[in-house]
Amino acid sequence: MAPLKTGLAAWYTKMAAFNVESLFSRRKVVGPPRSIFVNDNLPDRSFDRDGRPTNVHVFVTNQVITSKYTVLTFLPRNLLEQFRRVANVCVVITQIC
């Protein structure tokens, strides 16, 4: 049995075993190919007995949300954007004093 490594030796072993290719490898198993039905209902095999589409036929939407703010986050995010620069904070401080 190999002795347990602790501290720096364990960290070095972990870093030496790191594989950069694992960052770019595909993690999800590729599902079945998609079929597009234009102006046609889905076939009966696409639904379960309750009438809902099966998990194989439910895909992620292509919806893209580009809004930066919501009603609740407008004020905190706006203030953060305004005061994240040191120059803006100095201007506010000089106007107050």
pLDDT in tens, 69-86: 888 888 888 888 887 777
Sequence-separated (6 or more) residues with CB below 8 Å from residue 68: 77
Supply the pTM of this predicted model.
Answer: 0.29
Domain residue extents for the chain? 30-96
Per-residue pLDDT band at 42 (split at 50, 70, 90): confident
Q: Are 74 and 65 in contact (CB under 8 A)?
A: no
pLDDT category, 97, cuts 50, 70, 90? low
What is the three-class DSSP state of 27? Answer: coil
Cβ burial 1-25 (10 Å sphere, 16+ → b, else e): eeeeeeeeeeeeeeeeeeeeeeeee
